[in-house]
Structure formats: C-alpha cells, structure tokens
Amino acid sequence: MTGAPRVSGFIWRLALLLAVLNLAACSSLSRDPLRIDLAGVEPLPGQGMEMRMLVKLRVQNPNDDAIRYNGVALDLEINGQPLASGVSDASGEVPRFGEAVIGVPVSISAFSAVRQAWGLSGGPLRNGLPYVISGKLNGGLFGTRRFNDAGTLNLPAPLAAP
C-alpha cells in the first residue's frame, strides 16, 4: 500500500500543473491585439542582386501587461505580391499601455523587384500602392503575438509644368 500515496500525490501535482498552464493560456488569450504600423523604411547595403532595407515597425501595446519579445519575423506584400521578408533576433519589451519602434532588416530578391516593376508598368497608380505587413513577435510558449497591418502607400503626385 505504500505505492498508492505516491500515485495520488503525482496525480495531484499533475492536476495542479495543468491548472496553472490553463490559467496562463487563458490569460494570454484575453489580451487586446497589438497595433502595428509601418513607421519607416531605410536602405541597407545589399549583396549581389538583392536589395536590403530596414523596416521600422511602431508597436503599440493597449494591454495592462508589458509584452516581452525575443525575435521578430516579418513579411511585406506590395500590390498583392510578396516583396520582402526578414527576421531579427532583437529582444526587448513593449511597455504596458506604451509603444516601441522595432527595426527588422528585410531582403528583396531581384525576382521580387522585377515582378513588382512589371506589375506597376500598367500605368500610373492613382489610388496608391496597397501593402500588407504580417509577422510575429516571439514571446515563448504562451507569449508569441502575431500581427497584421494593411494600408496604402500614397505616392507623391508629379509636379505640374508651369
């Protein structure tokens, strides 16, 4: 009969662990979504036929808890076509009810650039270029936050001749 208390103690500990994990999972589900906006794009040195850019994302956290991240992945679509992707091992924290700017280096292959140029050759874009940014902030088992942002890049109008 000495084995019975050990088994029930093991089951008790397992049930307690599962309850704690369930609470952690539920608390991560009740968070408001992050607000991600394209804050800027800067050129980086490329290699060969690829182009590189630093995409800056403004991340706003409307939650009462800080968001800790350790790694960022990003995909950028322009005009309905994939253009660039990138990853960063950046780590940090977006404070509660605060914001942070996170830079992610992305690569644009020569093929993607040609595809975009070909798609734009149909004429002037009066309504701008639609873009979609999607990615994730890695935050561990229950802390990873996926994001999407869409908008339109409005190109400046050409100057009229005097």
Q: Tell me: the pLDDT tens digits for 15-52?
A: 877 777 776 555 555 678 889 888 888 999 988 888 89
Domain extent for 121: 33-150
Q: What is the pLDDT of residues 48-58, one digit of tens each?
A: 888 899 999 99
Q: Is residue 15 part of a domain?
A: no
Over the stretch 66-77, which tens digit does the pLDDT of each residue have?
989 999 999 999
For residue 143, is it within any domain? yes
| Dihedrals phi, psi of 64, to nearest 5 degrees | -80, -10
Burial of 31 (0-12, 13-18, 19+ CB in 10 A): middle
What global pTM score does this model have?
Answer: 0.68
d(CA 49, CA 51): 7
- Domain of 143, CATH number, reads 2.60.40.1820
Q: Domain tally for the chain? A: 1
- The answer to the question of residue 54 being in a domain is yes
Q: Is the pLDDT of residue 3 over 60?
A: no
Residue 127 identity (one-letter amino acid): N
| 155 within domain boundaries | no
Mean pLDDT of 74-94: 91
Q: Does residue 85 form part of some domain?
A: yes
> Per-residue pLDDT for 119 more than 80?
no
Q: Is residue 40 part of a domain?
A: yes
Residue 108 lies in a domain: yes
Q: Write down the residue that tokens 């208390």 correspond to.
A: 5
Assigned domain for 88 exists: yes
